[in-house]
Amino acid sequence: RIIMGVESSCDETGIGLVRLHDDGTVELLADEVASSVEQHARFGGVVPEVASRAHLEAMVPTTRRAFTTAGLEMSDVDAIAVTAGPGLAGALLVGVSAAKAYAAALGVPLYGVNHLAGHIAVDTLQHGPLPSPCLALLVSGGHTQLLRVDDIAGKITEIGSTVDDAAGEAYDKVARLLGLPYPGGPPIDKAAKAGDPQAIAFPRGMTGPRDAKFDFSFSGLKTAVARWVEGAQARGEEIPVADVAASFQEAVADVLTAKAVRAATESGIGTLVISGGVAANSRLSSLAAQRCAEAGIELRVPRPRLCTDNGAMIAALGAHVVAAGCAPSSLDLSANPALPVSAVSV
């Protein structure tokens, strides 16, 4: 069966096509993404109205490209999955409306699915079925959560999350402090390669003995970087961008991997999946690989292209939801900007 995935929760219009095989494995056929990120760069963050308009313009061309890449016709589609939330209301609505129209026109079932669960499900395109249970560290622009995944199509439970900024948000804010472009993850990752991660001892938030075990905090780290940069500027010193980037990145990777490995060990879960845009970070994956190896935990990180927003992740989750025999959504499906991760399909 062929499943089409439609993603429009933020600033990427994504159309994915996958094949669900009878044995439950899911094969990637097409993954086309149109991003409006350059239109938001000068504002230092996503401008919702601009994102919605860009989705409107990109939806049909991106869909065409996906079918061309896969060598399929729209009539080959057996089901359509669309991001129903969480995300920007106007942006989500464009995808939901388009998916409804495609589903109605093709006479195929429609499945509203969860963007965050999609970030995890995408890993099955690269590494095959997820063992049950597994632990997921979801690190993206808007979320930072530790999740127990008993069933990617239905049972996801949060065991920890950030109490303030998301990890990706911290990257974006620190990049701004250092005069690096938006989004900040890729340029910090690159700058850090020439820096010393031990140069500056930035704080590790929420790691004290009285802090909630599996929660995270990144706003103190961001403030510490800001103070450090201000101090250097006040002394008339040039900012050692590479050292600051490397030291900040080390602090983020340290707390994320330490807590994820501890959560896996304490709950006796043998597999950790790291996903979401920040999973594309080179230091996060190398430190996670080292610590998981030491703890005897299998680590799965999708390739960077699959970590950031795309339609393939929604198609992959849709395929798992179809395979599980879940009921399709009704045609009055609406977007839910605050959809919790426990609501895998709606």
Q: Which residues are annotated as a binding site for substrate?
A: 138-142, 172, 185, 189, 281
Q: Which stretch binds ligand ATP (CB under 6 A): 67-75, 141-149, 239-247, 315-323?
A: 141-149
**Annotated binding site for Fe cation, which residues?**
115, 119, 309
Is residue 240 near ligand ATP by the rule CB under 6 A?
Answer: no
Instruction: Compute CA distances 63 → 56, 99, 119, 127, whole Å.
Output: 12, 11, 20, 26
Q: Which stretch binds ligand ATP (CB under 6 A): 216-224, 227-235, 259-267, 272-280?
A: 272-280
Is residue 11 near Mg ion by the rule CB under 5 A?
Answer: yes
Q: Which is nearer to ligand ATP, 184 or 318 (CB)?
A: 184
Residues 44-73 that bind ligand ATP (CB under 6 A): none
Q: Which is nearer to ligand ATP, 78 or 158 (CB)?
A: 158
- Take residue 281 and report the two structure tokens written for it: 């970070």
How far is Cα 64 from Cα 336, in angstroms, rounded to an integer?
A: 27
- Take residue 206 and report the two structure tokens written for it: 């929420």
**Phi, psi angle pair for 84, to nearest 5°:** -95, -15
Is residue 7 near Mg ion by the rule CB under 5 A?
Answer: no
What is the nearest approach in angstroms of Mg ion to the Cβ of residue 280?
Answer: 11
| Pairing status of strand 26-35 against strand 79-85 | unpaired
Residues 136-165 that bind Fe ion (CB under 5 A): 140
Is residue 309 near Fe ion by the rule CB under 5 A?
Answer: yes
Is residue 62 near Fe ion by the rule CB under 5 A?
Answer: no
Residues 290-309 that bind Mg ion (CB under 5 A): 309
Q: Which is nearer to Fe ion, 136 or 178 (CB)?
A: 136
Is residue 143 near ligand ATP by the rule CB under 6 A?
Answer: yes
Is residue 11 near Fe ion by the rule CB under 5 A?
Answer: no
Neighbours of 154 (CB within 10 A): 16
Is residue 35 near ligand ATP by the rule CB under 6 A?
Answer: no
Is residue 140 near ligand ATP by the rule CB under 6 A?
Answer: yes
Write the secondary structure of the chain as one string of H (helix), E (strand) and C (coil). CEEEEEECCCCEEEEEEEEECCCCCEEEEEEEEEECHHHHHCCCCCCHHHHHHHHHHHHHHHHHHHHHHHCCCHHHCCEEEEEEECCCHHHHHHHHHHHHHHHHHHCCCEEEEEHHHHHHHCHHHHHCCCCCCEEEEEECCCCEEEEEEEECCCEEEEEEEECCCCHHHHHHHHHHHCCCCCCCHHHHHHHHCCCCCCCCCCCCCCCCCCCCCCCECCHHHHHHHHHHHHHHHHCCCCCCHHHHHHHHHHHHHHHHHHHHHHHHHHHCCCEEEEECHHHHCHHHHHHHHHHHHHHCCEEECCCHHHHCCCCHHHHHHHHHHHHCCCCCCCCCCCCCCCCCCCCCEC
Is residue 278 near ligand ATP by the rule CB under 6 A?
Answer: yes
Q: Which stretch binds Fe ion (CB under 5 A): 200-208, 226-234, 262-270, 303-311?
A: 303-311
Site string for ligand ATP, 149-188 (x = CB under 6 A): -------------------x--xx----------xxxx--
Q: Which is nearer to Mg ion, 10 or 284 (CB)?
A: 10
What is the nearest approach in angstroms of ligand ATP to the Cβ of residue 94?
Answer: 15
Q: Which stretch binds Mg ion (CB under 5 A): 12-20, 56-64, 147-155, 234-242?
A: 12-20
What is the nearest approach in angstroms of ligand ATP to the Cβ of residue 82?
Answer: 15
The closest of 5, 84, 90, 82 to 46, measured between CA atoms, is 90
Residues 196-235 that bind ligand ATP (CB under 6 A): none
State the residues that interact with ligand ATP by CB under 6 A: 9-10, 87, 115, 140-143, 168, 171-172, 183-186, 189, 276-278, 280-281, 308-309
State the residues that interact with Fe ion by CB under 5 A: 140, 309
